[in-house]
């Protein structure tokens, strides 16, 4: 039947369009999720949590076993101003207890732990970066220097500064002529328009 065939064609075309839209949406999602910056952010966050947990949960408890510490690093603090429930004999047992009592404390242990976490994450990332360069020969750790003109950090092998656009090969210090940069560039390029090509008998 003619009407049934037309309905079937419409149904098939609609299904194909729906499949194409779904396929296009899925391809867009994969393109977004697989971009370098998204993966780098996700991996960096996960890696930071792993290293922070390694330092806080494994390294620092072992360090806290030293005789002159006797407690976890994050529980080392100094009382600057006592609270109303301060125990003259034993003081505060934990940092949380001191803060709940309204005491003014210097939480130097927590600060040291944060610094150690930062150093652990930084050194581990640096080591992983060098290992990656050793395996894949891709230079991801690039040395930087200060631009002598704007004092911003740029790549060591950069020809021009990305901040102030100055050349890094010393040409900026040469005496300037009265010509503009475009005229100097044009004068420096050879022009063959209207010039006779010498005939030396050679074959072009």
pLDDT at residue 82 above 70?
Answer: yes
Q: Three-class SS of residue 167?
A: strand
Rounded to two decimals, what is the model's pTM?
0.53
Between 37 and 156, whose confidence is greater? Answer: 156
Angle, alpha carbons 34-39-41 (nearest 5°)? 145
Sign of CA dihedral 9, 11, 14, 18: negative
- What does the buried/exposed string (b/e) look like for 25-50 if buried means 16 or more CB atoms within 10 Å of the residue's CB? eeeeeeeeeeeeeeeeeeeeeeebee
Side-chain-side CA neighbours of 56 within 13 Å: the count stands at 17
- Cα 184 to Cα 178: distance, rounded to the nearest angstrom: 9
DSSP state of 160: B
- Average pLDDT of every residue of the chain: 77
């Amino acid at each position: 039947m003619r009407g049934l065939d037309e309905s079937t064609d419409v149904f098939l075309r609609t299904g194909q369009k729906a499949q194409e839209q779904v396929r296009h949406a899925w391809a867009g999602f994969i393109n977004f999720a697989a971009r370098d910056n998204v993966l780098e952010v996700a991996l960096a966050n996960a890696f930071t949590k792993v290293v922070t947990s390694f330092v806080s949960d494994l390294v620092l408890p072992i360090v806290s076993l030293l005789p002159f510490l006797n407690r976890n690093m994050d529980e080392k603090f100094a009382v600057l101003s006592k609270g109303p429930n301060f125990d003259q004999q034993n003081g505060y047992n934990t940092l949380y207890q001191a803060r709940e009592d309204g005491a003014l404390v210097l939480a130097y242990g927590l600060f040291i732990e944060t610094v150690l976490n930062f150093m652990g994450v930084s050194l581990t990332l640096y080591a992983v970066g060098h290992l990656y360069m050793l395996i894949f020969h891709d230079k991801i750790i690039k040395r930087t220097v200060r631009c002598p003109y704007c004092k911003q950090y740029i790549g060591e092998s950069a020809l021009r500064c990305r901040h102030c656009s100055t050349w890094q090969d010393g040409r900026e210090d040469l005496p300037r002529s009265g010509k503009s940069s475009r005229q100097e560039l044009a004068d420096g390029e050879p022009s063959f328009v209207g010039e006779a090509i010498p005939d030396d008998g050679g074959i072009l």
